[in-house]
Amino acid sequence: MRFLIFLTGIFLATFAYANRPVLTVYAPDYFVSEWGPGPSIEEAFEKTCGCDLKFSAGDLVPRLILEGSSTEADIVIGLNTDVTKKARETGLFAPHEQSNESLFLPIKWIDNTFLPFNWSYVSFVYDETKISQPPKSFEDLANMKDAKIVIQDPRSSISGLALVLWIKEVYGDKAEEYWSKLAPNILTVTKGWSEAYGLFTSGEAEIVLSFNTSPAYHISAEGDQTKKAAIFDEGHYAYFELVGKLRNSDQPELAEKFMKFVLSNEFQTLIPFTNWSYPAAQDRSNWPEVFGQLPYPKRAYFLNEAKADKMRKKAIEEWRTALSQ
């Protein structure tokens, strides 16, 4: 009976929604997950837009390329600079039409198509109760005994790709050699970030590839001070998350409204406590206290999209070869 009522409910709900315009937003799986910012962003935007914001979770760039101009997407959120070249080449994206001047980033942002909405440094997060001597460099990480590390597949996850490029940038021609050295410590390679982070929080692994801002979640949401980001002497990969709007969108006004919303104070204030990273359009002094206190690296690596794209194929093949042995 309960099930029947439930079904009728769904049926009626789809009816009620049918009259509101739908803004379709492609986002990665983690974005709409338990820890993701998706649900609160949807709620905040729907309050003012008079529309139905629908997230469609999954791969971003591959899906866009396969769907081409017949794509349903109006907005794509959760890209980063390592994949924007491919995304740009689809010719599906329109200029973001927001002012890059309103951004507060460690670098000067000049792209007019993709707009950063938050950023952080790619880092390994560890459990202090299980790791007594945290690694201070990639060498330390490879030399750790009995540490189980979970990373993401660079072909399906952009944080995974960031790591591969980061290591390639640090090690150059010796990157494959380094991966072979690190391989025994890797418990598994997951498809996406949230799967890996889930393995970490459930105790299957002690170290996970994530971001230097991830511990903020444990500190403020759980009062747990034991999860920390290992800061490496070599410097860290700076990771900007981007949003873009589609040229062929059937809701151009809503899409434009959403891009504006991304830089608004409301959205930017949601970011730290939902996506657990630094807001892109707020000055450090406006960040929540926890974020201001997080340790961060002295040096940042940043690859522009052309360089990232050039390195990508070789770096991934080296990773694949080293890890398949």
Partner 1 sequence: MAHRTVTVISSLFLVGLLLGPLMFLIHFSGLSLNLTSSDMAAIEFTFVQAAYSATLSTVLAIPVAKALQRQNFWGKQLVVLFLGAPFILPVIVAVLGLILVFGNNGVINNILNFFGFEPFKIYGLWGVVLAHVFFNLPLAIRIILQGLNDVPGEQYRLILSLKLSLSQKFFALDWPVLKKVCPSIWAVVFAICLSSFAVALTLGGGPKATTVELAIYQSFFYDLDFAKAAQLALVQVFLVFSVVVASQFIIRPETVLGLNIKIFNYSHSRFEKILDFLIIVVTLLFILTPISVIFFFGSAGIFSLPPSVFKAAILSVQIALLSSFMSVFLGLCLTTKIGEVVGSLGIAVSPIVMGAGTFLMLKNFGNPYLLAIPVTATVNALISLPFVIRILKPPAEEIRTEFDNLSRAIGLAGIYWIWWVYLRRLKRPIGFSLGLAAALSMGDLGVIVLFGSGEIATLPLKIYQLMGSYRSEEALASALLLSLLAFGSFAVFDRIGRML
Please, what is the minimum distance in Å from the beta carbon of residue 25 to partner 1? 10
Pick the closer one to partner 1 by CB: 103 or 187.
187
Query: What one-letter code names the amino acid at 119?
Result: W
Q: How far apart are CA 241 and CA 158, in angstroms?
A: 10
Pick the closer one to partner 1 by CB: 70 or 132.
70
Pick the closer one to partner 1 by CB: 191 or 257.
191
Pick the closer one to partner 1 by CB: 146 or 289.
146
Pick the closer one to partner 1 by CB: 29 or 305.
29
Please, what is the minimum distance in Å from the beta carbon of residue 155 to partner 1? 3
DSSP E strands, the chain: 22-27, 52-57, 75-79, 93-94, 115-127, 149-152, 186-190, 207-211, 227-230, 236-246, 278-279, 300-301
Nearest residue to 296 (alpha-carbon basis) of 309, 319, 277, 314: 277
Please, what is the minimum distance in Å from the beta carbon of residue 103 to partner 1? 29
DSSP class per residue in 143-159: H-SS--EEEE-TTT-HH
Binding site for partner 1 (CB under 8 A): 2, 6-7, 10, 13, 26, 29-30, 32-34, 36, 55-59, 62-63, 65-68, 70, 72, 148, 153, 155-156, 183, 186-192, 194-195, 197-198, 201-205, 317, 319-321, 323-325
Please, what is the minimum distance in Å from the beta carbon of residue 321 to partner 1? 5
Residue 284 φ/ψ, nearest 5 degrees: -50, -35
Contact by Cβ (8 Å): 124, 285: no
Please, what is the minimum distance in Å from the beta carbon of residue 268 to partner 1? 24
The label of the residue with tokens 């959760």 reads: 78
DSSP E strands, 30-173: 52-57, 75-79, 93-94, 115-127, 149-152
Please, what is the minimum distance in Å from the beta carbon of residue 229 to partner 1? 20
Contact by Cβ (8 Å): 112, 96: yes
Q: How far apart are CA 151 and CA 283, in angstroms?
A: 31
Pick the closer one to partner 1 by CB: 116 or 176.
176
